[in-house]
Amino acid sequence: MLTWHYRLWDPHDVVAILVFALFMCRLVGAISIHSPEQSIIRSVQEDVFFSADVSCNGTPTVQWTFMSASVSRAIAAWRPGVFANVTADYDGRVELHDNGSMGLARLTLQDTGYYVLTITDDVGGSKDAGFVLKVNEVLYEDLQYLSVSALALGCLAGFLMLSMWLLNKAYSKIVACRRRKKMPENDETELQPL
Ligand SMILES: *[C@@H]1O[C@H](CO)[C@@H](O)[C@H](O)[C@H]1NC(C)=O
Ligand SMILES: *[C@@H]1O[C@H](CO)[C@@H](O)[C@H](O)[C@H]1NC(C)=O
């Protein structure tokens, strides 16, 4: 077993692996996918545009697949000028472009997930590109509620502080008054030595 391992990393094998890797790179490099934005955040009911620019030898076959923790489903497959298939679930919501881009309208929370663009060329080579979409709930009402509550709490706190201050003042006045009424001579005689 040890000798087999040793033989695997024989210089000849390393050269062979490198040549094979280079060959694969060239094969894969025949298809290129340029996508400016791969991580997108949108709100419910908004539209998203997965922008891509695809190039390969011959006419590409474009496929879009949706993946999330629980599902994986095909969205659409098309070949510019040849055919275009859209999965029933997405009918009327997707917009396909010759450069491989796809637009998706009226987003729902369930559209959050991973979108894979797969390009297949005439020779059978293929390449993928991934996009992450996060669809957020619209939170305007919550925010309004929160600001109103914050304002109400602020007013309450201010009112409480004012009442405390007034009470404190009134209390010290009463105490002072009482002391003066109870022992006016004592106060004066006591204060004089100081
Ligand atoms: C792909 O084509 C669409 C529609 O013509 C365009 O809006 C988009 O910018 C293109 N994407 C790229 C990456 O060139
Ligand atoms: C497109 O749809 C048609 C009919 O729905 C089907 O026969 C065909 O195989 C589909 N093509 C691809 C590439 O999915």
Question: For 111-127, how does the pLDDT look when each residue is reduced to its tens digit (9 = 90+)?
Answer: 999 999 999 998 889 99
Q: Is the C-beta atom of 129 inside 6 A of ligand 1?
A: no
46-94 per-position pLDDT tens digit? 999 999 999 988 889 999 999 999 899 999 999 998 999 999 999 999 9
Q: Which ligand 1 atom minimizes the distance to the CA of 36? A: 13
Nearest-CA residue for atom 2 of ligand 2: 85
Return the CATH number of the domain spanning residue range 29-137: 2.60.40.10
- The 8 Å CB, 24+ separation contacts for 165-173 are none
Nearest CA among 101, 106, 70 for reference residue 91 = 106
The confidence score (pLDDT) of residue 112 equals 96
Q: Which strands, in side-by-side order, build the sheet including 61-67?
A: 39-43, 126-136, 113-120, 61-67, 72-79, 83-86
Q: Is the C-beta atom of 76 inside 6 A of ligand 2?
A: no
Share the mean pLDDT of the chain. 85
Q: Which ligand 1 atom minimizes the distance to the CA of 98? A: 2
**Which of 15-29, 32-46, 66-80, 117-131 is predicted least confidently?**
15-29
pLDDT band at 36 (very low <50, low <70, confident <90, very high): very high
When mean pLDDT is compared over 29-38, 161-170, 171-180, the highest value belongs to 161-170
Region 18-45 average pLDDT = 79
